[in-house]
Amino acid sequence: MRARGLAGFTLIELVAVLVLVGLLIAFSPLALDFLVAEKQLEGEVSRLATTIDFVKSQAVLDQCAYAIHVDTEKHRWAVQVPREEVQEAPEPDAEPVKILVLDEDVPDEELEWHQLPNGLSLEFYEGRQPLKGIYAITYAPDGTVPAHSLVVESNRVSSLDEADRVRTVRVSFSGLVSLGSGRELGDFKLTEAELGR
């Protein structure tokens, strides 16, 4: 009668398991970095869209123009709030009237800029035409605005598919905000005349 050998793993099996565990450990930070970059992209796009909705609502509520400034070179944006101005009363015995006025030429230094995190870029489009520099997007007291798109792109998301790296915030003439994956630039109407109003 022969004695049975001890049951166990061979050296090759142990080495194979160690190699697999090593590969998992090596690639997990890359996967985590991808998830963090994707969540950061989604968060910034959501913040921008929410701010646009808020600015439109405030313009309608206050019956005064508000503006969002976009700087495509420094990848940042800012909200311009109208200032309160006191006007003389129309009648001699009446109280002075307070009104809100949006300054036409506000210096960049006076705005509170929201800087996009490193790895994210901001593009501004009117129709399908990309514009470079600093632009003020003015929301009228009735909530209308020149139609435009803001594109946020991440260079930290390592995907060849543009839908993974790029998000678009589209704003129609009526101020309606819609979000999309990739560069979804629309052929929407830019003015009331084009809408047939």
Q: Which residue has the tokens 């790296």?
A: 165
The predicted-structure confidence for 75-107, as pLDDT tens digits, reads as follows: 999 999 898 888 887 777 778 878 888 888 888
Which domains are seen in the chain, by residue range? 11-81+112-195 (3.55.40.10)
The predicted-structure confidence for 44-63, as pLDDT tens digits, reads as follows: 999 999 999 999 999 999 99
The predicted-structure confidence for 101-140, as pLDDT tens digits, reads as follows: 888 888 888 899 999 998 899 999 988 888 999 999 999 9
**Alpha carbon distance, N-terminus to C-terminus of the chain:** 101
* Residue 190, pLDDT above cutoff 70: no
The model's pTM: 0.74
Q: Residue 106: helix, strand or coil by DSSP?
A: coil
Rounded to an integer, what distance in angstroms lies between the CA atom of residue 99 and that of residue 84? Answer: 6
